[in-house]
Structure 1
Amino acid sequence: MRSLVLKVLAAVAVLAGVTVLAVQPAHAAAGFTVSGTRILDANGNAFVMRGINHAHTWYTGQTSSFANIKATGANTVRVVLSSGNRWTRNDAADVTNVINLCKANRLVCVLEVHDTTGYGEEGAAATLAQAVDYWISIKSALAGQERYVILNIGNEPYGNTNAAGWTADTRNAITRLRANGFEHAIMVDAPNWGQDWQFIMRDNAASIFAADPQRNTIFSIHMYGVFDTAAEINDYLGRFQTANLPIVVGEFGNDHSDGNPDEDTIMATAQARGIGYLGWSWSGNGGGVEYLDMVTNFNPAQLSPWGQRFINGANGIKATSREASIYSGTSTPPSTPPSTPPSTPPSTPPSTPPSTPPSTPPSTPPSNPPAGACSTVLSVNAWTGGFVATVKVTAGGSALTGWSVAITLPSGTAVTNSWNAQASGTSGAVRFSNASHNGRLNAGGTTEFGFQGTGTAPSGSPACTAG
């Protein structure tokens, strides 16, 4: 997120570099995949990230931020998590809640471990190997979520000291994740506080990509003071595209303590080249970079100058973002106007202590349904004034060609969004019917749908009807 580099070194280094063309074999996967320079969603449609970073680990109570970020027109949220090495650990239940909030708001979830920031130069930073330990420890929350989640192994995993170690550490991290059964698209951040002014990521990207047995790795550059000219921005991004490798701008802002990034060129170049970008950050910055807040005090009605530029400016979110087809079925342009670039994470953790993440009540086990029937399990993540509910539908002793689930909502409760099902209403007795892609279930087969609401969460086992 931050860089303490000397600009003169960056200026000299930008002239160097060797391009190696990467060959990418086709492979099957349940979620996001890489095809040349493009990222494809689980429907096989091209997906270009237009998103916002959100400091969840320091502000776990700000769950409304997901809906507010979606309301800007964003299609992606990059979520700050902690492995517990440096800040309070986000456990599997909290990560499940985050993923459900992303799905409820039709956002692609990029999850990152922030504890690795500046390793080698920042004494408290965790290693990439420790980040992988964390991902393995919460695998239960991630398995089966490949359609919605991209794993960003560790944020800015090296500072400027001994940054050459990034290559071997990144290769080993990818290899371990795959060996432990992770099928997700993987994103890797550059060293040098994310800005790669030594071009370690750029010049080793092809070998890193080849080390992934699934050939499903995305590279992320953070653009702050190092990237203050159009020449630097175009050269860096262009070299990845020439090498046929996928690159996104994982963080950037309109100003920074290490220099003044050229946000207009970053956004215009990303749009022209079909490259994703994620602005830093929604709110809650500290350590002197409060100007990178897009909104003040997490209030979407209080846009900062940076937020106004990023969301409503030229080549910004509202002008260029397209919802992932896994939610809409097609890549449809938003009806809202243009927006602009993001910000940088706090160099020091915010002073506000994190609140306790919503707990997940135990699920009710399904009863054994008769042949041709179906049963349900309702799981709820609730907070004051709202909730996300997930319903697992299980077929009985014979296959189903369709299903519907009836849920009676408590008085004053309203459904605000749903996914993987069609809702008949928003309050009172609501019936959820299967979507076109999940109505057919083999005997004993399962599927899930979910919905977000305001008010009191429902409880019990909803009635399921086959056909």
Structure 2
Amino acid sequence: MRRLLWLGLALLTGLAVFLVSPPANAAAGFTVSGTQLVDANGNPFVMRGVSHAHVWYQSRTQQALADIKALGANSVRIVLGSGQRWGPTPAAEVTTVINQCKANRLICVLEAHDTTGYGEQAGAATLDQAVDYWISVKSALAGQERYVILNIGNEPYGNTNATGWTAATKNAIARLRAAGFEHSIMVDAPNWGQDWQFVMRDNAASVLAADPQRNTIFSIHMYGVFDTAAEITDYLGRFRSAGLPVVVGEFGFDHSDGNPDEDTIMATAQRLGIGYLGWSWSGNGGGVEYLDMVTGFDATQLTSWGDRIFNGADGIKATSREASVFGGGPGTPPPASPSNPPPASPSNPPPAGVCSAAVSVNAWNGGFVATVRVTAGAAALRAWAVSVTLPAGAAVTSTWNAQATGATGAVRFANVSYNGTLGAGGSTEFGFQGTGPAPGGTASCAAG
């Protein structure tokens, strides 16, 4: 009797799994599983990144993404224009940005900024207009579900008629799904993103249920409204208790409307496994220049805010893990740095007194990113230098965790101050980005 009962339960369980299984294409990209964002390989992914204002600083994007990655981020939120106030950013440009994100092994969160403060901000776009834009650039987004998250519109309502957010958001999601978009969708809160009336919080479950793919993530922006630990932990905790996915899609260390508690924001996000994206890399104006993380897009000039979010407690460098869709496996640590060296690889070390270098390349039409792993032999190193010969027509445009001599032909990369010393069998990594044909996987290493 018990065996028959067990078999009956097993058959019912199997039938239930069959009935609720997602469509076959669900694994094409990111999906939502309870409170977690899961990548196309089935591994949880927690965003640790920053925003970059591409629509205003298009010529800065390539270098900015390389620098953001070098500081440890696993994702970047890209500001685009839908044509009502800025842009529109054309499909070809969106393709270029996506390729640059992929080259730097960054998950690309694309957002249409023109919706900011609709109802209060003159000329702001509606969510319907934002959807029109996404449909117009669908050719650039199709097939990129493994690498791209679609943030429909930035802060899509001000404080006027914020209750209209719920119906407008449901309609926007429905239109995107009807148009064939299979991406994870991120939706920003009303009240200029801060949801102080709790419209998003109290209606999130119904918005998620209205998505036929159940693949929607909720984004709260934390500035002056979130100036106490109690407010932060209560807001994020309610989403977690309700089993709903949330990210801190923007936050800062200070703002004109109050002083947000960035320490609690970051600590709570880390404790609960919630993603965060700080605002913003560089180029702020209008009195909020203090939110720049680096001065003048120069990664060597971290501001106090930049140093806090990248290098501080619960910061990006300490907590970021690269998405497994880039081939590093689940939970791949961020690039080597003074405070986060890679694990030693002592198995099968090279002979004593030498070092080896292995090159891995991520290439696209017209450019590439190379990651070079330097491994010491049976003796410790005090310094190292790696030579890479580039093919004709290739040139190095940026380098991280190494000093480059030359840009074409035979290029020499030497250690910087914090990664020259390696224990026997120990390893470190550096990287470089370039244009033209990609180099091969071989390089020579000289030990110091």
**TM class by shorter-chain length?**
0.7 to 0.9
Counterpart of 1:49 (choices 47, 65, 70) is 47
In the superposition, relative to structure 1, how do residues 255 and 263 fare at CA in structure 2: closer, same or farther (>3 Å)?
Answer: same
Counterpart of 1:380 (choices 365, 370, 392) is 365
Residue equivalent to 1:432? none
Cα deviations by residue, 1:78-106 (Å, 9 ceiling, x for unpaired):
00000111112110010000000000000
Distance 2:278 2:433 in 1: 28
Cα deviations by residue, 1:354-407 (Å, 9 ceiling, x for unpaired):
xxxxxxxxxxxxxxxxxxxxxxxx9735xxxxx459xxxxxxxxxxxxxxxxx9
1:28-39 superposed matches below 5 A:
28-39=26-37
Distance 1:210 1:34 in 2: 12
Residue equivalent to 2:318? 319
One-letter code aligned to 2:36 = R
In the superposition, relative to structure 1, how do residues 412 and 94 fare at CA in structure 2: closer, same or farther (>3 Å)?
Answer: closer
Residue equivalent to 2:128? 129
Residue equivalent to 2:174? 175
Residue equivalent to 2:143? 144
One-letter code aligned to 1:410 = A
Cα deviations by residue, 1:44-86 (Å, 9 ceiling, x for unpaired):
0010000010000000000210000001100000000001111
> Which secondary structure does the structure 2 equivalent of 1:57 belong to?
coil
Contact 2:27 2:41 in 1 (8 A): no
One-letter code aligned to 2:56 = W
The alpha carbon displacement at 1:329 in A equals 2.2
Distance 1:452 1:153 in 2: 32
Structure with more helix by fraction: 2
1:38-437 superposed matches below 5 A:
38-62=36-60, 63-327=62-326, 328-334=328-334, 335-336=336-337, 380=365, 387-388=367-368, 409-410=391-392, 413-414=395-396
Residue equivalent to 1:454? 434
Contact 1:100 1:388 in 2 (8 A): no
One-letter code aligned to 2:138 = K
> Which secondary structure does the structure 2 equivalent of 1:89 belong to?
coil
- Range moving further from structure 2, 330-339 or 120-129: 330-339
Residue equivalent to 2:421? none
Distance 2:154 2:339 in 1: 28
> Which secondary structure does the structure 2 equivalent of 1:102 belong to?
helix
> Which secondary structure does the structure 1 equivalent of 2:365 belong to?
strand
Contact 2:368 2:437 in 1 (8 A): no
> Which secondary structure does the structure 2 equivalent of 1:58 belong to?
coil
The alpha carbon displacement at 1:410 in A equals 1.6
Distance 1:288 1:125 in 2: 20
> Which secondary structure does the structure 2 equivalent of 1:86 belong to?
coil
The alpha carbon displacement at 1:25 in A equals 5.4
In the superposition, relative to structure 1, how do residues 301 and 453 fare at CA in structure 2: closer, same or farther (>3 Å)?
Answer: closer
In the superposition, relative to structure 1, how do residues 61 and 210 fare at CA in structure 2: closer, same or farther (>3 Å)?
Answer: same
1:14-33 superposed matches below 5 A:
26-27=21-22, 28-33=26-31
Contact 2:393 2:437 in 1 (8 A): no
Contact 1:312 1:337 in 2 (8 A): no
Distance 1:199 1:337 in 2: 42
Contact 1:250 1:279 in 2 (8 A): yes
Contact 2:74 2:106 in 1 (8 A): yes
Contact 1:39 1:47 in 2 (8 A): yes
Contact 1:121 1:160 in 2 (8 A): yes
* Residue segments in structure 1 that go unaligned for 5+ positions in a row: 1-23, 340-377, 382-386, 390-406, 418-425, 430-450, 460-467
Distance 1:206 1:214 in 2: 14
Contact 1:313 1:338 in 2 (8 A): no
The alpha carbon displacement at 1:412 in A equals 5.5
Distance 1:26 1:78 in 2: 31
One-letter code aligned to 2:110 = L
Distance 1:116 1:243 in 2: 28
Rg larger in structure: 2
User: Over aligned residues, Cα RMSD in angstroms?
Assistant: 2.6
In the superposition, relative to structure 1, how do residues 338 and 187 fare at CA in structure 2: closer, same or farther (>3 Å)?
Answer: farther
> Which secondary structure does the structure 2 equivalent of 1:266 belong to?
helix
One-letter code aligned to 1:47 = F
Contact 2:69 2:104 in 1 (8 A): yes
Q: Which runs of 4+ in 1 moved over 6 A?
A: 426-429
Q: TM-score, normalised by structure 2?
A: 0.73
Cα deviations by residue, 1:91-124 (Å, 9 ceiling, x for unpaired):
0010000000000000000000000000001121
Q: For CA contacts below 8 A with separation 6 or more, give which structure has more relative contact order.
A: 1
> Which secondary structure does the structure 2 equivalent of 1:187 belong to?
strand
The alpha carbon displacement at 1:303 in A equals 0.4
In the superposition, relative to structure 1, how do residues 331 and 415 fare at CA in structure 2: closer, same or farther (>3 Å)?
Answer: farther
Distance 2:196 2:299 in 1: 34
> Which secondary structure does the structure 2 equivalent of 1:286 belong to?
coil
Residue equivalent to 2:413? none
The alpha carbon displacement at 1:29 in A equals 3.0
In the superposition, relative to structure 1, how do residues 216 and 166 fare at CA in structure 2: closer, same or farther (>3 Å)?
Answer: same
In the superposition, relative to structure 1, how do residues 169 and 55 fare at CA in structure 2: closer, same or farther (>3 Å)?
Answer: same
In the superposition, relative to structure 1, how do residues 303 and 129 fare at CA in structure 2: closer, same or farther (>3 Å)?
Answer: same
Distance 2:46 2:211 in 1: 22
Distance 2:304 2:75 in 1: 21
Distance 2:391 2:201 in 1: 53
> Which secondary structure does the structure 2 equivalent of 1:267 belong to?
helix
* Residue segments in structure 2 that go unaligned for 5+ positions in a row: 1-18, 341-362, 370-388, 400-406, 411-430, 439-448
The alpha carbon displacement at 1:414 in A equals 5.0
Q: TM-score, normalised by structure 1?
A: 0.71
Q: How many residues end up aligned between the 2 structures?
A: 347
Q: Report % sequence identity.
A: 71
